[in-house]
Chain A
Amino acid sequence: MAYVAVKGGREAIERACDLNEYRRQGAASAPLQLSQIREQLHLAVDRVMGEGGLHAPDLAALALRQAAGDTIEASFLLRAHRATLPRLGESIPDTTGDMRMVRRISSAFKDVPGGQILGPTGDYTLRLLELDRLEDPALRRQVIRERVFRGLPEPDDMPDTFPRVVELLRRDGLVEEPGTEDDEPFDITRRSVAFPAPRSARLQALARGETGGLLLLAYSSMRGYGHIHPTLAELRVGYLPLRMTHPVTGESVVAGEILVTEAEVVSRFSNPEGEPRFHMGYGLCLGHNEIKAISMGVLDRCMRTETPTCPAEDQEFVLYHTDGIESMGFSNHWKLPHYVDFLSDLDRLRKARANAQEKENGHARA
């Protein structure tokens, strides 16, 4: 197969694309329905929406199918699509106090006002391959459905709002006050970031960051290359109302709701000057992605260290290297032809070798 742009390259490329498409659609299996992906692979869909920076479950499912399950590639497709969309407006900044809660836990206190709500989680399952459930039969699905919906409490048993654990600590002066460094949020999709970056830019970059990349850096810090010892004050998963200013009436209206995951971590005090307080780290991302929200919270806290001593505390290191789409693109670009560059490299190497040889010959003669 031709690789560089010599004659016949175009046909080879088209054939390669066909082959790729054929491989993706599988030999004899039924085509994947978008609803199946959206509902049964919902965590992958959420991940793609977050990293792609676009809340669009159907399009994310489409992207996942097109990318044959590669989440970075799927996020890329979604983010590229996002670039074609007009920006119709901006939501009104809001607290997450009105979140319609799906899951809410605090690991800082045994019990908290509003209660610990486990919600749908696999945290406490044994990770054993369900070899006896290869077929996932309809009967079993029916049994689960009945178990879940039988004896559900009345909807008004759930409180409307849940007090924030961090707020309760803050009331006692134990946690630092929220920063007010920038009035107008920085938008990294419209402006190039300069360092030190404002917190809004950092949080936005983290929210679009690749889950694995964020996890790697957050883990490096919590494991030993860093000094942050986080406690998860609160982790929330739920639906947030999206408020907009109505273009005609000028009133605030709810345009819809989006599923988000929010993490608030507190860490040991470190500022020798002033009153000792816990420091806070914050993470919020689209969809249900707890690993990402927690990693964000840890990295947000890490990056606020005044004198960075390790990669996770260094803003540039974190923000430049955790965008999956950028790093994937660049790492893949090495597959592009580099024969001109390489020829130039070869020339230098040959010249250096010739010089070395000459020197050696000179020594031998002397």
Chain B
Amino acid sequence: MRVHEWLSKTGSAGTTFGFLDDGAKKDVRRALLKAVAIPGYQVPYGSREMPLARGWGTGGIQITLSMLLPEDVVKVIDQGCDGSVNAVNIKKFYERVAGVAVTTDTLEASLVQTRHRIPEERMTDQQILVLQVPYPEALREVEPSEAQTRRMHAEADYARMWLHLYEDVVHFGEIRISYRYPCTVNGRHVMDPSPVPRWDVPKLHMADTLFLFGAGRERRIYAVPPHTRVEPLEFEDHCFRVEDFAGKSCARCGSTDTFLDEILGPGGSRSHCCSDTGYCDKRKARWNRS
């Protein structure tokens, strides 16, 4: 179905396919093209007001809306979960303004929008992952001023970031950055991978999929194209490592190789479950069949 066919089917006057007007979509797409051309570089763009509050995924939503086609199948997750309140809300919004199909199966989706996770299943070159970004600036940790951080990126001046990591190692024997772990993209720009856990950072490296990052409140778009190097900042004698789930497994599907959420039970008891609920459901169904 083409866009004009969809339009002829919609009854309510004044509803644009994909909510945004064409000018806004064009703006976003141009920023996306530039972002893909300069991996890891934050492209400023004129972020529009969305009917969701700032900080609730408006950057990701604008990217998705500017790219949606009527035949798209969309998956939206929040912290890995399809059923999370905000993910449900965003999905409802897409169904309402674009009439697209939705799914919880990562491999079925043509476009996945996510907050704070990258799905466990390896995505293909036919798919796009849109990440919602609260803080696009990886250097914000060491420099509050935007004018300064832009200069630092232009000059590839990352000394203060390295020093910050080094001081952490000296003081705590550990780099304290947990999620939002800074990475060098394509050997040039230091990039904030959005608040995904360390666990997900290696998935960005030499992937088959296009990753698009949208920060609506901060008015920035950036991208990691397929087959691009994404390397977490690390020292030769202090290597990057991901979260440790040794000895733990998912209470639902038994998985031992996925990112696990800690669940607090009555009396403070702890159990674990896959954060990627779509994948967990799939594994569980497979397990029940066999």
A interface list, Cβ under 8 A from B: 109-113, 118, 123-128, 163, 165, 168, 171-172, 223-227, 268-269, 272, 276, 310
B144/A225 in contact, CB under 8 A: yes
A110/B85 in contact, CB under 8 A: no
Query: Considering the chains assembled together, what is the distance between the CA atoms of A112 and B141 in angstroms?
Result: 31
Bitwise interface map of B from 120 to 153 toward A, beta carbon under 8 Å scored 1, else 0: 0000000000000001010011001000000000
A113/B267 in contact, CB under 8 A: yes
B144/A269 in contact, CB under 8 A: no
A113/B176 in contact, CB under 8 A: no
Query: Considering the chains assembled together, what is the distance between the CA atoms of A123 and B51 in angstroms?
Result: 11
Within the complex, what minimum Cβ distance (angstroms) separates A104 from chain B?
13
Query: Considering the chains assembled together, what is the distance between the CA atoms of A127 and B50 in angstroms?
Result: 8
B interface list, Cβ under 8 A from A: 50-53, 79, 81, 85-86, 88-89, 92-93, 96, 135, 137, 140-141, 144, 171-172, 176, 178, 261-268, 273
Query: Considering the chains assembled together, what is the distance between the CA atoms of A109 and B263 in angstroms?
Result: 6
Query: Considering the chains assembled together, what is the distance between the CA atoms of A127 and B55 in angstroms?
Result: 14
B51/A127 in contact, CB under 8 A: yes
Known: A111-B264, A113-B267. A224 touches B140 (CB 8 A): yes
Residues in A neighbouring B176, C-beta threshold 8 A: 268-269
A111/B52 in contact, CB under 8 A: no
Chain B minimum-CB-distance residue to A309: B144
Known: A124-B86, A124-B89. A110 touches B81 (CB 8 A): yes
Residues in A neighbouring B261, C-beta threshold 8 A: 109-110
B265/A113 in contact, CB under 8 A: yes
Interface of chain B: mostly helix, strand, loop or mixed = mixed
Partner pick for A126 among B93, B137, B144, CB 8 A cutoff: B93
Chain A minimum-CB-distance residue to B195: A229
Query: Considering the chains assembled together, what is the distance between the CA atoms of A109 and B267 in angstroms?
Result: 15
B51/A126 in contact, CB under 8 A: yes
- Having A110-B81, A112-B264, A126-B51, one finds 13 other A-B pairs with CB under 8 Å, namely A110-B79, A113-B266, A123-B85, A124-B88, A124-B89, A126-B89, A126-B96, A127-B52, A172-B268, A224-B135, A224-B137, A224-B140, A272-B171
Within the complex, what minimum Cβ distance (angstroms) separates B182 from chain A?
14
B262/A109 in contact, CB under 8 A: yes
14 intermolecular pairs with C-beta atoms under 8 Å apart:
A109-B262, A109-B263, A109-B264, A110-B79, A110-B273, A111-B264, A113-B265, A113-B268, A124-B85, A124-B89, A128-B51, A168-B264, A269-B176, A276-B172
A113/B264 in contact, CB under 8 A: yes
Which of A109, A112, A126, A223 is packed against the most chain B CB atoms within 10 Å? A126
Query: Considering the chains assembled together, what is the distance between the CA atoms of A195 and B172 in angstroms?
Result: 31
Which of B79, B93, B172, B178 is packed against the most chain A CB atoms within 10 Å? B172
Within the complex, what minimum Cβ distance (angstroms) separates A46 from chain B?
19
A111/B263 in contact, CB under 8 A: yes
Interface of chain A: mostly helix, strand, loop or mixed = loop
A224/B268 in contact, CB under 8 A: no
Query: Considering the chains assembled together, what is the distance between the CA atoms of A117 and B141 in angstroms?
Result: 34
Partner pick for B53 among A109, A127, A168, A226, CB 8 A cutoff: A127
Chain B minimum-CB-distance residue to A126: B51
Residues in B neighbouring A163, C-beta threshold 8 A: 268
Chain A minimum-CB-distance residue to B269: A113
Within the complex, what minimum Cβ distance (angstroms) separates A3 from chain B?
40
Partner pick for B263 among A110, A123, A124, A165, CB 8 A cutoff: A110
B263/A168 in contact, CB under 8 A: no
Partner pick for A272 among B89, B172, B267, CB 8 A cutoff: B172
Query: Considering the chains assembled together, what is the distance between the CA atoms of A181 and B278 in angstroms?
Result: 48
Chain A minimum-CB-distance residue to B217: A223
B268/A168 in contact, CB under 8 A: yes
Residues in B neighbouring A168, C-beta threshold 8 A: 264, 268
Residues in B neighbouring A310, C-beta threshold 8 A: 144
Query: Considering the chains assembled together, what is the distance between the CA atoms of A109 and B81 in angstroms?
Result: 13
Within the complex, what minimum Cβ distance (angstroms) separates B12 from chain A?
10
B268/A126 in contact, CB under 8 A: no
A126/B263 in contact, CB under 8 A: no
Residues in A neighbouring B50, C-beta threshold 8 A: 127
Which of A124, A163, A171 is packed against the most chain B CB atoms within 10 Å? A124
Chain B minimum-CB-distance residue to A172: B268
Within the complex, what minimum Cβ distance (angstroms) separates A235 from chain B?
14
Query: Considering the chains assembled together, what is the distance between the CA atoms of A213 and B135 in angstroms?
Result: 22
Residues in A neighbouring B263, C-beta threshold 8 A: 109-111
Query: Considering the chains assembled together, what is the distance between the CA atoms of A123 and B85 in angstroms?
Result: 9
Within the complex, what minimum Cβ distance (angstroms) separates B20 from chain A?
14
Residues in B neighbouring A113, C-beta threshold 8 A: 264-268
Residues in A neighbouring B144, C-beta threshold 8 A: 224-226, 310
Query: Considering the chains assembled together, what is the distance between the CA atoms of A165 and B96 in angstroms?
Result: 37
Chain B minimum-CB-distance residue to A122: B53
Residues in B neighbouring A123, C-beta threshold 8 A: 53, 85
Within the complex, what minimum Cβ distance (angstroms) separates B103 from chain A?
21
B268/A171 in contact, CB under 8 A: yes
Query: Considering the chains assembled together, what is the distance between the CA atoms of A112 and B267 in angstroms?
Result: 10
Within the complex, what minimum Cβ distance (angstroms) separates A314 from chain B?
14
Query: Considering the chains assembled together, what is the distance between the CA atoms of A53 and B48 in angstroms?
Result: 38
Query: Considering the chains assembled together, what is the distance between the CA atoms of A225 and B51 in angstroms?
Result: 28
Within the complex, what minimum Cβ distance (angstroms) separates A174 from chain B?
11
Residues in B neighbouring A111, C-beta threshold 8 A: 263-264
Task: For the complex of A and B, list the 4 residue pairs with the smallest distance between their C-beta atoms, beginning with the closest.
Answer: A272-B171, A127-B51, A224-B144, A126-B51
Query: Considering the chains assembled together, what is the distance between the CA atoms of A168 and B266 in angstroms?
Result: 10
